[in-house]
Amino acid sequence: MPAFPERAELESRMDIEDDERGYNSADEYEARDMTHAELAELAAREAAFEEAMKCRGFVLKRVAPDGNCLFRAVSEAVYGDDGMHDALRELCVQYMRKERSHFSRYVTEDFEAYLARKAQPSVHGNNVEMHALCELFCRPILVYNYAPTPINSFQPVGGEGGGDGGGEKSGDSGGRADGDGAAPIHLSYHNRSHFNALIDTRRPAVGVGLSLPGYDSAQLVRRGESDALAAAAASERETIDAQFFAAAAGDSEDVEIDEQIERAVLQESLQAHEQRAAAEDAADGRHAAGDAAHAGLPPLAAQLISAGFAEAEVIAGLALFGDDHASLVCYLSGG
Tell whether the model's pLDDT for residue 221 goes beyond 50.
Answer: no
Residue 246, φ and ψ in degrees, nearest 5: -65, -40
Instruction: Name the region of 146 (left: φ>0; alpha: ψ -120 to 50; beta: rest).
Output: left
Q: Given this model, what pLDDT does residue 173 score?
A: 42
Least confident interval from 114-128, 143-157, 303-317:
303-317
Domain presence at residue 288:
no
- In percent, the amount of the chain with pLDDT more than 90 equals 41
CB 175 within 8 A of CB 142: yes
Residue 177, domain member (yes or no): yes
- As beta bridge partners, residue 169 has 153
The reply to whether 312 falls in a domain is no
Q: Domain span at residue 116?
A: 7-33+64-214
Measure the N-to-C terminal CA separation of the chain; round to a whole number of Å: 45
Three-state secondary structure call for residue 187: strand
Mean of per-residue pLDDT scores for the chain: 76
Q: pLDDT digits over 244-284, tens only?
A: 666 666 666 666 777 788 788 777 877 887 888 777 766 66
Q: What is the mean pLDDT of residues 202-219?
A: 58
In a domain, 250, yes or no: no
- Average pLDDT of the residues in 312-333: 78
162-171 average pLDDT score: 46
Ranked by mean pLDDT, the top range of 67-71, 201-205, 222-226 is: 67-71
Q: How confident is the model at residue 202 (pLDDT cuts 50, 70, 90)?
A: confident
Q: Which of 208, 191, 201 is closest to 146 using CA atoms? A: 191
Which SS3 state, helix, strand or coil, does residue 183 take? coil
* Residue 173 lies inside a defined structural domain of this protein: yes
The DSSP symbol for 104 reads G
> pLDDT value at position 98?
96
Burial track 55-83 (b if 16+ CB lie within 10 A, e otherwise): eeebebbbbbbebbbbbbbbbbbbbbebe
Q: How confident is the model at residue 307 (pLDDT cuts 50, 70, 90)?
A: confident
Count of the separate structural domains present in the chain? 1
Looking at residue 334, its pLDDT comes to 74
Half-sphere exposure of 291 (CA within 13 A, CB side): 7
CATH label of the domain that carries residue 167: 3.90.70.80
CA atoms within 13 A on the CB side of 31: 11
The three-state secondary structure class of 139 is coil
Residue 318 lies in a domain: no
Query: CA distances (Å), 145 to each of 48, 153, 160, 283, in order?
Result: 12, 12, 28, 37
145 inside domain: yes
Question: DSSP string of 189-255?
Answer: EETTTEEEEEEETTS--TTTTS--TT--HHHHHHHHHHHHHHHHHHHHHHHHHHHHHHHHHT-HHHH
For the chain, what is the radius of gyration of the CA atoms? 26
| pTM of the complete model | 0.54
In a domain, 198, yes or no: yes
Task: Kindly report, residue by residue over 17-59, the tens digit of the pLDDT.
Answer: 333 344 555 545 556 688 999 999 999 999 999 999 999 999 9
Highest mean pLDDT among 167-181, 183-197, 222-236, 288-302: 183-197
Specify the pLDDT at position 43: 94
Is residue 106 predicted with pLDDT exceeding 70?
yes
Q: How far apart are CA 307 and CA 145, in angstroms?
A: 32
